[in-house]
């Protein structure tokens, strides 16, 4: 296959143009081949191989336990499926904070072993040295501010962030620092809509929200949540587009019942 044939349709440059012409950016998480193939076919702009895989794929309570090897495995599975969207991979907790050398090492491992398009990191000025180092290697970086789940033990709660002026100001400073460093986009999670809109209008780079209102440049949701596969997680910002949990439950119950009643397999389903 030619290099051109392998390159993704959605690039950092395209995302910037989308912001400039007011076209909203769509982003969803995916962690495996089958799901990534479906959401690529649907026309999504960005796939995030989120560290939320720790929750929805592995059943952990927080995103902290997922490892670099596990994130690379998920990213490789997604990369085998996609043609058009940009694929962004979350750098897992402990692979970039506090040590910019290790940050570059982790970033290069993800990019080399998965062939993804970009990386996402959580935090602002505290991690700017790592962000600068990763950017210096030519890897595109997406920032993530507001409710940053890797800091859940510091926050103590998953409630809305930056309601207070001091935290909102710090968020504005962090957003500016990430843009100035050279990040190509920013995720804002669970903050007041007014603040989301303010950040999006101040920054030139696209700002993608999850619970950050409608004044940002795009939206992201966790795939398993928007499909209704997960049931226990119901924040206000989550719009469920399906109830796959109930559909799957019904299908599996029917399968069990068909086996027990000796209806499956029937004559046409055997050799």
Chain residues in the site for ligand KIV (CB under 6 A): 29, 48, 50-52, 90, 187, 189, 210, 220, 222
User: Could you give the C-alpha distances from 204 to 16, 89, 192, 218, 271, in angstroms and in order?
Assistant: 8, 22, 20, 14, 62
| Type and span of the H or E element at 204 | none
* Least distance to ligand KIV, CB of residue 6, Å: 26
Nearest Cα to 66, choosing from 74, 141, 131, 232? 74
Using the minimum distance from each CB to ligand KIV, give the nearer residue, 2 or 126: 126
Q: Which residues pair with 207 in a beta bridge?
A: 186
Contacts of 237 (CB under 8 A, 6+ apart): 190, 210, 211
* Least distance to ligand KIV, CB of residue 254, Å: 32
* Least distance to ligand KIV, CB of residue 52, Å: 3
**Whether 149 contacts 62, CB under 8 Å:** yes
Using the minimum distance from each CB to ligand KIV, give the nearer residue, 233 or 264: 233
Question: Counting beta carbons within 10 angstroms of the beta carbon of residue 31, is it exposed (0 to 12), middle (13 to 18) or buried (19 or more)?
Answer: buried
* Least distance to ligand KIV, CB of residue 267, Å: 46
* Least distance to ligand KIV, CB of residue 189, Å: 6
**Whether 29 contacts 49, CB under 8 Å:** yes
Distance CA 63, CA 136 (A): 27
Residue 229 tokens read as 């596969």
Using the minimum distance from each CB to ligand KIV, give the nearer residue, 59 or 166: 59
List, by residue number, the catalytic residues. 189
End-to-end CA distance of the chain: 40
Task: Indicate the residue whose CB is closest to ligand KIV.
Answer: 50
Residue 157 tokens read as 């709660």
Using the minimum distance from each CB to ligand KIV, give the nearer residue, 183 or 268: 183
Using the minimum distance from each CB to ligand KIV, give the nearer residue, 143 or 179: 143
């Amino acid at each position: 296959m030619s290099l051109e044939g392998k390159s993704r349709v959605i690039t950092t440059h395209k995302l910037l143009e989308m912001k400039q012409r007011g076209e909203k950016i769509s982003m969803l998480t995916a962690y495996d081949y089958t799901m990534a193939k479906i959401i690529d076919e649907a026309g999504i702009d960005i796939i995030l191989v989120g560290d939320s895989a720790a929750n929805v794929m592995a059943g952990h309570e927080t995103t902290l336990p997922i490892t670099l090897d596990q994130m690379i495995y998920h990213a490789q599975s997604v990369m085998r499926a996609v043609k058009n969207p940009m694929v962004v991979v979350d750098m897992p907790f402990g692979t970039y904070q506090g040590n910019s050398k290790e940050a570059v090492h982790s970033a290069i491992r993800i990019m080399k072993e998965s062939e993804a398009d970009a990386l996402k990191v959580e935090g602002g000025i505290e991690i700017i040295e790592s962000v600068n180092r990763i950017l210096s290697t030519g890897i595109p970086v997406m920032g993530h501010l507001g409710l940053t789940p890797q800091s859940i033990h510091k926050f103590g709660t998953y409630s809305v962030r930056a309601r207070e002026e001091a935290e909102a100001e710090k968020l504005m400073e962090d957003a500016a620092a990430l843009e100035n460093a050279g990040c190509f986009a920013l995720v804002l999670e669970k903050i007041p809509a007014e603040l989301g809109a303010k950040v999006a209008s101040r920054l030139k780079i696209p700002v993608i929200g999850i619970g950050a209102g409608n004044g940002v440049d795009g939206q992201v949701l966790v795939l398993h949540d928007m499909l209704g596969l997960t049931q226990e997680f119901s924040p206000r910002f989550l719009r469920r587009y399906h109830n796959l949990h109930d559909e799957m439950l019904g299908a599996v119950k029917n399968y069990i019942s068909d086996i027990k009643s000796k209806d499956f397999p029937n004559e046409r389903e055997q050799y």
